[in-house]
Amino acid sequence: RYGTTSAQEPIKPPVTVEYDKLLINGQFVDAASGKTFPTLDPRSGEVIAHVAEGDTEDINRAVAAARKAFDEGPWPKMTAYERCRIMLRFADLVEKHNDEIAALETWDNGKVYEQSAHIEIPMLVRLFRYYAGWADKIHGLTIRADGPYNVQSLHEPIGVAGQIIPWNFPLVMFAWKVGPALACGNTIVLKTAEQTPLSALLVSKLFLEAGLPDGVLNVVSGFGPSAGAALCSHVDVDKLAFTGSTATGKIVLELAAKSNLKPVTLELGGKSPFIVCEDADVDKAVEVAHFALFFNQGQCCCAGSRTFVHEKVYDEFVAKAKERAMKRSVGDPFKTGMEQGPQIDAEQFNKILKYIKYGKECGATLETGGDRFGTKGYYIQPTVFSNVQDDMPIAKDEIFGPVQTVLKFKDNEEVIRRANNSPYGLAAGIFTQDLDTANTLTRALRVGTVWVNCFDTFDAAIPFGGYKMSGIGREKGEYSLKNYLQVKAVVTSLKNPAW
Ligand code: ADP
């Protein structure tokens, strides 16, 4: 059950920590206060490294560097082709160092090494190549207006972008944020999550090696209420992009409004429905629903965390979902064949156990799991609850852990109503072989992404973002560019009105 206990023995990650300072104006520097904070190995809770702790003064220094690199150049003044070449060189360097970066990511985050090495780092590379391709394809329109005017729109970079990212996919989030901002000619101050500061510093070093000019990308490690809030409030920051919890998203938006009304894009929480219809291929639906929830230890904003199953296939689905969860291999994420590593930290670990307790107390049926895994580190048993009701906390709140909740439904109308009855609207999965059911549910669900007979299919070109309290704006794809551009209308009077 749940892999092997010997997997609890930590395997030493094949990397050392070289970059633990702040990146400001092309230099790795100590925090102004001289303070550091520990970043921990989620497999054991042991300290990996002490990292420079940025605060207001460091944010000020980083914003000043980004401001200068934007106002005086060279970044926005370079040719788009030069910017494209630097981004491509960066992607090549990341590819070359793939395994070393993946090991550092797994060490700091606890995610399975094979996932870091074969999915996430390659995804970062793909995203940067995608955005490099955009750099020289950004242009405005010529517009036909009434009267003797020549009218055009210029699509210009917005300026200094403040970006705040979470800990669940540190490098994929780095790419979603940094890629479009740089392609459009902006400069950046990035605040990484305090749980996972290391990988962004390592890849930023490669960006400098690829020829990124000083001050274009500044990386500040540190905490939310100090460094994060200082970035949100800074009046020289022209735009904010944030990924994290809905509660923090509200604070970010408020700080932006109170300071200089900088525009904000938000990618927030979710409680995404995964709907298994009566005609679904049950075996496939079980496997994909399992993946939709348990992927990345359940630490995904778009996790399929409300598994709605039609009553005709409900018992079969629950039995098979339980069986699949019991087969899930849990253990040291550096070990080959592991599917699940530890949760990120003690706070998340305790929160998940609290929700499991609520589930038991509220009368949901615990099919499997329900406790920590092993005695060391932040591992949790893959857990499945059946007979879950809509008003239970495990069906309403984002648990962000390996806890699958299975709910029963009778017909499409009912499941549409219940699926939409959430303040969130990030994503949904639909399993059906009926075209009309797929199209009807797709149109009725108030969510930013619908996956039909698949889930978590990510691609650089596919837009991602939330309806309702799951966010504002879209990342990835062509849609993401407009977050980092402003439109300037240019109206030139013509002497000869006839033309
Ligand atoms: P989680 O609860 O999953 O850690 P958060 O939304 O708190 O999610 O964190 C996501 C990111 O937001 C992190 O980089 C964190 O440091 C940052 N953050 C947290 N609080 C604030 C805040 N008050 N202002 C700005 N950023 C914050």
Q: Is residue 56 in contact with ligand 1, taking CB distance under 6 Å? A: no
Can you tell me the mean pLDDT for 20-36?
A: 98
Give the pair of three-digit tokens for residue 393.
Answer: 């906390």
Q: Is 164 in the pocket of ligand 1 (CB under 6 A)?
A: yes
Q: How far is the CA of 229 from the centre of ligand 1 (A)?
A: 9
Whether 466 and 267 have beta carbons less than 8 Å apart is answered as yes
User: Cβ(7) to ligand 1 under 6 A?
Assistant: no
Tell me the pLDDT of the chain averaged across its residues.
96
CA of residue 37 to ligand 1 center, whole Å: 16
Residue 243 pLDDT > 70: yes
| Closest atom of ligand 1 to CA, residue 194 | 16
Q: Is the CB of 193 under 6 A from ligand 1?
A: yes
Q: What is the dihedral of CA 420, 426, 429, 434, to 10 degrees?
A: 60
Q: What is the pLDDT of residue 213?
A: 98
Asked if the model's pLDDT at residue 270 lies above 80, the reply is yes
What mean pLDDT do residues 380-400 have? Answer: 98
Question: Which residues carry out catalysis?
Answer: 267
Range name among 4-18, 187-201, 242-256, 290-304 with the lowest pLDDT average: 4-18
| ipTM of the prediction | 0.99
Distance of CA 244 from the midpoint of ligand 1 (Å):
6
* 38 CB-near residues (< 8 Å, 6+ apart): 47, 48, 49, 50, 51
> Atom 24 of ligand 1 has which residue's CA nearest to it?
229
From the CA of 195, give the closest atom in ligand 1.
4
Please tell me the distance from the alpha carbon of residue 184 to that of residue 87, in angstroms, as a whole number.
12
**Interval between CA 3 and ligand 1 midpoint (Å):** 33
Cross-sheet strand order for the sheet of 365-368: 365-368, 383-386, 403-409, 306-310, 273-276, 427-431, 449-452
The number of the ligand 1 atom at minimal distance from the alpha carbon of 255 is 24
Q: Measuring CA to CA, which residue among 310, 302, 297, 308 is closest to residue 274?
A: 308
Could you tell me the pLDDT band of residue 5, with boundaries at 50, 70 and 90? very low
- Cβ of 344 less than 6 Å from ligand 1: no
Given the CA of residue 251, which atom of ligand 1 is nearest to it? Answer: 23
Q: List pLDDT tens digits, range 97-129.
A: 999 999 999 999 999 999 999 999 999 999 999
Which residue's alpha carbon is at the smallest distance from atom 18 of ligand 1?
Answer: 224
- Cα separation of 475 and 409, whole Å? 33
Q: pLDDT value at position 499?
A: 60
Decide: 252 in ligand 1 pocket, CB within 6 A: yes
Return the residue whose CA atom lies nearest to atom 15 of ligand 1.
Answer: 224
Nearest-CA residue for ligand 1 atom 19 is: 224
Q: Is the dihedral of CA 443, 449, 454, 457 positive or negative?
A: positive
Mean pLDDT, range 259-280, rounded to an integer: 98
Q: Which residue has the tokens 């403040």?
A: 162
CB–CB of 39/196 below 8 Å? yes
C-alpha span between 348 and 378 (Å, rounded): 9
Question: How large is the average pLDDT for residues 235-253?
Answer: 98
- Centre of ligand 1 from the C-alpha of residue 402, in Å: 21
pLDDT of residue 365: 98
- Centre of ligand 1 to C-alpha 132, Å, is 29
What H or E segment, with its residue span, contains residue 203? helix 198-209
List the structure tokens of 59.
């944010």
| 149-157/264-267 β-pairing | unpaired
Contact 187, 75 (CB under 8 A): yes
pLDDT over threshold 60, residue 6: no
Nearest atom of ligand 1 to the alpha carbon of 247: 6
385 CB-contact burial (10 Å; exposed 0-12 / middle 13-18 / buried 19+) = buried
Centre of ligand 1 to C-alpha 163, Å, is 11
Q: Is 345 in the pocket of ligand 1 (CB under 6 A)?
A: no
Residue 482 DSSP one-character state: G
How many angstroms separate the alpha carbon of residue 240 from the centre of ligand 1?
A: 13
Atom of ligand 1 nearest to the CA of 232: 25
Q: Whose CA is nearest to atom 25 of ligand 1?
A: 228
Is there an atom of ligand 1 within 6 Å of 225 CB? yes
Going by the DSSP 8-state scheme, the letter that residue 21 receives in this structure is S
Q: Is 382 in the pocket of ligand 1 (CB under 6 A)?
A: no
Digit-coded pLDDT (tens) for 345-378:
999 999 999 999 999 999 999 999 999 999 999 9
399 C-beta closer than 6 A to ligand 1: no
Q: Which helix (H) or strand (E) holds 66?
A: helix 56-71
Kindly state if the Cβ of 229 falls inside 6 Å of ligand 1: yes
Residue 497 clears pLDDT 80, i.e. is over it: no
Q: Which helix (H) or strand (E) holds 266?
A: strand 264-267
How far apart (Å, rounded) are the C-alpha atoms in residues 132 and 88?
6
Count of positions (residues) in the chain: 499
- Confidence class for position 498, pLDDT limits 50, 70, 90: low
Q: Quote the pLDDT of residue 13.
A: 83
